[in-house]
Amino acid sequence: MKIAFTAPMKPLDDPVPSGDRTMGRLIVKALEAGEHEVRIASRFRSWRKDGSEDLQRAVKRDALAEAERVAKEWDAANYRPDIFLTYHLYHKAPDWIGPALADRYSIPYAIIEASRAPKRRTGPWAFGFSAADEALSRADQVAALHRADSECLSDVVPKDRLRVLLPFLDTSPFETDSRPAQADSISGDKPLKLLTVAMMREGDKTRSYEVLAAALGKVRDLPWHLTIVGDGPARDHVLSLFPPDRITMRSALPPEDLPAQYAAHDLFVWPAIREAFGFVFLEAQASGLGVIAGDTFGVPDIVIDGETGLISPEGDAEAFAQNLRKVLNDRPLAARLGETARDHIKANHRLQAGTRRLNAFLEAAQDQYWHRMPLDKRYAATDLT
């Protein structure tokens, strides 16, 4: 299948690393593994930090001009995709390009990772909210990456066009049995090796670090040592939250260096405040690490509470600390969580599983487009007239 792809939230080659960029790249990789031909239709970014109707109208004008440019490029190359696929759409990042091109070329339109916040129906984001809803209504198939988003989308997307497409990853870099340090810290008296991986930005990331620091402060009587992998403008504040003698700071690392960090630790810890699902939880579990996590949006969809990790209410430092204490007082539990986590990822979240789910999603979009097509156009498409 020939797939035209765009990501209005963040282009796939954006220089700033994020779980969003990683997931977008993985979607393309899984599609190509399924022998689809993926073409990046546009790098246009509709996302804006601040909202106002005038600003969003200007973005819409630029987006439609970009759609016209893409159409001319396609026509010159005699290119016509089988489907237009948009990754990550919401009120701050509406998609005008996909619907315009899908209508122009009479092809199905599909969206992966859509979210909807009804409180944005009015106020400075009302124009973007309405535009996102229009794209959702036009879509032949919409996939949320977790159940919480799916529930919000059900008000505007019919049930037969809405599904949950669980996230996935390429597990090959993380599937290693070399965990030489684990036996000492789990079976002996050495501090349990904790790991967290997250950027240091103001807002929810910083709040997550604050909850983590507060929770760890409640278990200072037990032996643990935390490695932090991350960097950003809030670095000084974040580091001030933790006792220097109990942490190792690794700064931000390139993706290829992360598997070794996971393999060298015993437990992954992150409150994940307001995160869609936390891509790091997939990586940690694929590496054989159990996790201590916050009950945020899609986290329960990828972390099995009591089996691959322990989940506490979002932002609750006391409950997070209780889960930490449970593992710190039962070292073999860390190993059991990690073993189950690795098996869980292999069974449900590998790239191959992503390819199968994406194939089913695209086929459903094509079926929906066909059934929604007026009969005269349907007959013309099959040369029956």
* Domains contained in the chain, number: 2
Mean pLDDT of the chain: 92
Residue 267 domain-assigned (yes or no): yes
Share of the chain above pLDDT 70, in %: 93
Residue 177 domain-assigned (yes or no): no
- The residue with tokens 């939230």 is 9
The string over 131-148, giving b where at least 16 C-beta atoms fall within 10 Å of a residue's C-beta and e elsewhere, is bbbebbeebbbbbbbbeb
Question: 331 and 192, same structural domain?
Answer: yes
* Distance between CA atoms of residues 24 and 20, nearest Å: 6
Examine the pLDDT at 178 and tell me if it is beyond 50: no
DSSP secondary structure code for residue 28 in this structure: H
Question: 107 and 46, same structural domain?
Answer: yes
Residues β-bridged to residue 262: none
Determine contact, residues 258/197, Cβ cutoff 8 Å. Answer: yes
Residue 33 domain-assigned (yes or no): yes
Pull the structure tokens for residue 78: 């005699």
Per-residue model confidence (pLDDT) at position 147: 86
Per-residue model confidence (pLDDT) at position 275: 87
Question: 195 and 132, same structural domain?
Answer: no
Question: 17 and 163, same structural domain?
Answer: yes
Question: 223 and 129, same structural domain?
Answer: no
Specify the 3-state DSSP secondary structure of 117. coil
Burial of 205 per CB tally in 10 Å (0-12, 13-18, 19+):
buried
Per-residue model confidence (pLDDT) at position 20: 86
Confidence of residue 184 (pLDDT cuts 50, 70, 90): low
Residue 132 domain-assigned (yes or no): yes
State mean pLDDT over 51-67.
Answer: 96
State mean pLDDT over 79-89.
Answer: 97
- The residue with tokens 């430092």 is 317
Per-residue model confidence (pLDDT) at position 221: 96
Question: 117 and 18, same structural domain?
Answer: yes
Which backbone phi and psi does 63 adopt, to 5 degrees? -65, -45
Question: 204 and 162, same structural domain?
Answer: no
State mean pLDDT over 280-286.
Answer: 96
Pull the structure tokens for residue 95: 């998609």
State mean pLDDT over 375-385.
Answer: 51
Residue 175 domain-assigned (yes or no): no
Question: 148 and 213, same structural domain?
Answer: no
Question: 160 and 25, same structural domain?
Answer: yes
Determine contact, residues 241/210, Cβ cutoff 8 Å. Answer: yes
The string over 5-38, giving b where at least 16 C-beta atoms fall within 10 Å of a residue's C-beta and e elsewhere, is bbbbbbbbeeeeeebbbbbbbbbbbbbeebebeb
Per-residue model confidence (pLDDT) at position 385: 40
Confidence of residue 192 (pLDDT cuts 50, 70, 90): very high
To which H or E segment does residue 294 belong?
Answer: strand 290-295
State mean pLDDT over 298-322.
Answer: 96
Residue 173 domain-assigned (yes or no): no
Question: 104 and 82, same structural domain?
Answer: yes
Question: 200 and 146, same structural domain?
Answer: no
Per-residue model confidence (pLDDT) at position 181: 47
The whole-model pTM stands at: 0.85
Per-residue model confidence (pLDDT) at position 196: 97
Closest residue by Cα to residue 130 from 157, 99, 162, 90: 90
Per-residue model confidence (pLDDT) at position 384: 41
* Distance between CA atoms of residues 287 and 184, nearest Å: 18
State mean pLDDT over 235-261.
Answer: 94
Q: Half-sphere exposure (CA, 13 Å, Cβ side) for 67? A: 20
| Per-residue pLDDT reduced to its tens digit, 119-156 | 999 999 999 999 999 999 999 999 998 888 899 899 99
Degrees (nearest 5) of the Cα angle 273, 279, 282? 120
* Distance between CA atoms of residues 352 and 172, nearest Å: 11
Per-residue model confidence (pLDDT) at position 270: 97
Confidence of residue 19 (pLDDT cuts 50, 70, 90): confident
| Per-residue pLDDT reduced to its tens digit, 333-377 | 999 999 999 999 999 999 999 999 999 999 999 999 988 776 656
Per-residue model confidence (pLDDT) at position 378: 55
Determine contact, residues 269/311, Cβ cutoff 8 Å. Answer: no
Range of the domain at 77: 2-168+351-381
Confidence of residue 18 (pLDDT cuts 50, 70, 90): confident
Pull the structure tokens for residue 286: 């694929």
Q: Half-sphere exposure (CA, 13 Å, Cβ side) for 291? A: 32
Closest residue by Cα to residue 296 from 260, 322, 266, 270: 270
Question: 148 and 38, same structural domain?
Answer: yes
Residue 174 domain-assigned (yes or no): no
CATH code where residue 156 lies: 3.40.50.2000
Indicate the angle between helix axes 97-105 and 53-76, nearest 10 degrees.
40
Examine the pLDDT at 183 and tell me if it is beyond 60: no
